[in-house]
Amino acid sequence: MRCSAHGVEFIAAYEGFVDHPYRDSGGVWTIGYGHTGPGVQSMGTISRSRGLELLARDVGSAESAVNALDLAFTQGQFDALVSFVFNCGPGTLEPSRSLGQALRQRGMRGVPQAMALYTHAGGQVLPGLVKRRAAEGAMFAQPGTSESALRASAVSPGATWLTAKELKRCRELDELRRIAARTPAQQRRIERLVGLLTTQRKLIWKRAQPQPRGDGRGWDHRNRRQRYHSLLARTA
């Protein structure tokens, strides 16, 4: 199996993005959503959509580790595990580890709880990891999410976080951008969709702010964090 486009966007929502080459804390040249490797230093400035393309390649090792389990997963379960392994490492899938044990139990019902154990860094619980583990657990627990279901559904945590209207516009925009020789009408439609999605992205950002500027409900209300990053990747 491969991580779905929604799965890649989910991971991106929890990874920082830098549009130019930089040296990380270990001195390694890095760009985008943590991409490293030959040629990074000379890549120049990249868009968020290019960053997603690089991330989709970078999760390959996590995909291989999950596939090596040789277990039957729905697309949502697979995406959740790829996100987890990409963040925590393939060693967490070993039979001796909490997650590895839960995956090998009948029904795999204990997987979300096992994921929730991995929230520490430097001996401290990090709120960002708590939120990510909860989101991955919800994605894994989502019943029967196939790739087609992920693309066709409206709002469902762990499947697709976009509203029905956002999803429809994103899919149309993605399809139009795949056309090599576009007509003037198609190009105008792309510009219109980008404008609509940009407006929606800004609205999400505004509402996520503390009161009185926003509604005070924050980034985790109605999947705002993931929705914002999905729209940002298509409009930045």
User: pLDDT 10s digit of each residue in the chain, 236 long?
Assistant: 999 888 898 899 888 889 999 998 889 999 999 999 999 999 999 988 899 999 999 999 999 999 999 999 999 999 999 999 999 999 999 999 999 999 999 999 999 999 999 999 888 999 889 989 999 999 898 766 444 444 433 333 333 578 889 988 988 988 898 888 999 999 999 999 999 999 999 999 999 999 999 999 998 888 888 888 888 878 87
Q: What is the pLDDT of residue 160?
A: 54
Q: Has residue 93 been placed in a domain?
A: yes
- Kindly provide the b/e burial profile for residues 50-81, where b requires at least 16 CB atoms within 10 angstroms of the residue's own CB: bbbebbbebbeebbebbeeeeeebbbbbbbbb
Q: Is residue 218 part of a domain?
A: yes
pLDDT at 144: 60
Q: What is the pLDDT of residue 192?
A: 96
Do 108 and 14 reside in the same domain of the chain? yes
Strand pairing category for 35-36 and 18-23: unpaired
Inter-residue long-range contacts of 53-61, CB under 8 Å, 24+ positions, other chains counted: 55/8, 55/11, 55/12, 55/15, 56/3, 56/5, 56/8, 58/33, 58/34, 58/86, 59/3, 59/8, 59/11, 59/86, 61/90
What Rg do the C-alpha atoms of the chain give, in angstroms? Answer: 18
In a domain, 82, yes or no: yes
**Domain count within the chain:** 2
Of the candidates 166, 132, 134, the residue with the CA atom closest to the CA atom of residue 151: 166
Dihedral sign (CA 12, 6, 38, 68): positive
Last residue of a domain, one of 87, 114, 149: 149
**Does 204 lie in the same domain as 167?**
yes
Find the domain containing 198 and state its range: 161-235
Phi, psi dihedrals of residue 121, rounded to the nearest 5°: -150, 130
Instruction: Return the pLDDT at 67.
Output: 96
Active site residue ranges: 15
CATH number of the domain where residue 96 is located: 1.10.530.40
Same domain, 145 and 167: no
Q: Which residues pair with 18 in a beta bridge?
A: 32
How far is Cα 117 from Cα 10, in angstroms, rounded to an integer? 20
My answer on whether 139 and 167 are in the same domain is no
- Residue 15 shares a structural domain with residue 128: yes
Report d(CA 219, CA 209) in Å as an integer.
8
Whether 83 and 10 share a structural domain: yes
Predicted pLDDT at 227: 87
pLDDT value, residue 223: 84
Q: Assess if residue 40 is contained within a domain.
A: yes
Among 98, 127, 149, the domain boundary falls at 149
CA dist 137 and 93 (Å) reads 15
Question: Is 226 part of a structural domain of the chain?
Answer: yes
- The predicted model scores a pTM of 0.68
Take residue 22 and report the two structure tokens written for it: 């930089």
39/129 same-domain check:
yes
Domain final residue pick, 149, 180, 210: 149
The CA distance from 19 to 88, in Å, is 24
